[in-house]
Structure 1
């Protein structure tokens, strides 16, 4: 709120004519003492209603305010400090206006604080952009996936709260560091080479990374990393969106190992079965033991080696609990349940 401010009546008249100026009076802390016509017009408020009111009594209460910015502004006022470009909504409903104000304290000849004066600008036209920015900021801050923003050299400029939850590193610890902060050394170097080649070529990269939390615990991430270009088409930032997939990955690893075990066991049984089919070779005991071992390792209640003929299959060797009522040589029609 820079502008001519004085306690003398001639100067006060000049003040009232000064573009978009306003003043608070000490009689009621921070109450509005006067408004210039241009400020009243810019804010679309009636001076007769505003005089004597506190600034926040004129705020558009139905519009959410940036509480952190508001608290900083209140602290400045209480401490009688200068402030610049404080933004707030004034008025009600569809006529509410977004105002930017700057100002400083004024003192009498004895050094006593007597109020503030300065200038204000109507910036309602910027509101939609700012509201969108605030919305996008909340989306990122409250996202269930980690978001990391770096400069073109890979220096971290921003991490969201989810990053801290997953890695254990706070924003203060992460900002200024390289994403290698969470590298475990277990991701192949070729993966990183492909990643950097893609994003430096202004393409996105997607894949899995084996990383390490601050605690030292390893975890898996599904990541998509892409460049943000400036107005000239040059890379300004890189953004990484990452999801902790450790639980899913662990399940996949267990299933893959189980599949390999089944395959190896099947191949062993197939070989034993071929041997047992040879003339004058009795491998039934070995087959039964192999079935029992496989059932135990795989957590299965039954194991069967059978021969399928057209519409039937014949049990050649089996390992099953007594209630299954199975015996070698038993024949079933295809589609018939065994247990």
Structure 2
């Protein structure tokens, strides 16, 4: 039996994205290798029903930080904690390793999901960029192995940051078994026919492209678009643009749909439209295809890896092409 350590903050605290990656990976490892013990370190053990299995006991050992200073403990105290716990290996699931990890003598691996903040600094405040860069440099310096979630991310790491190819492995994010099984019904209150947009409503995710494409379509061919994601200023810009173009009534904003309903949400849609300008992988693309529904996405970064031969691809700046793909 091995005791394996994990930085599980995202597993317990992020409902989507890095949280989904962490939960699916640990669930698969626990099922495949139940004799080992998976020690999950997190400042707090949240997440409700989605993380209950990780708090229920073997093969998982959930460890919460102190009541005060849990964030500092995760960054500066976790190396010592893991050494005292005698973990055989530590995995930083989201871009970072605890400070001082190189002095523990314990092999550490880190998953790098993307280099968005480095390649597209216009999408991030300067303080976020500085923080991410600092943690990334330390993790890349001290990790025994770097896992990239796509060949695109691996190539970005090599070309932009000079990470040696022999230090990296591409391991795609796992798609949960529930997406391959018979889905439940779509969430209540949705129309019988709809397109689906899933993800945060930010400039990078590019919801505005779909709004422009809806305007390009003949009125008789337009279908409602369920927008399953949260947003701030950019979401308001998109809503205003939709009003200006006369398609606002087609946007059905559903920011609070639970993750448990995702298979039914995918399966009930005409298809997923995922117009992102950059993704480290693009897990919703793979999930929707696993549910047997069509996907339209862009030809940028890792998205052709996520969609393979099963998706349609357009430029993120071509609403006419998207409208044609939606026909």
The TM-score bracket by the shorter chain reads: under 0.3
Bigger proportion of residues as helix: 2
Higher radius of gyration, 1 or 2:
1
- Report the TM-score, using the length of structure 2 for normalisation: 0.22
Higher RCO (Cα < 8 Å, 6 or more apart): 2
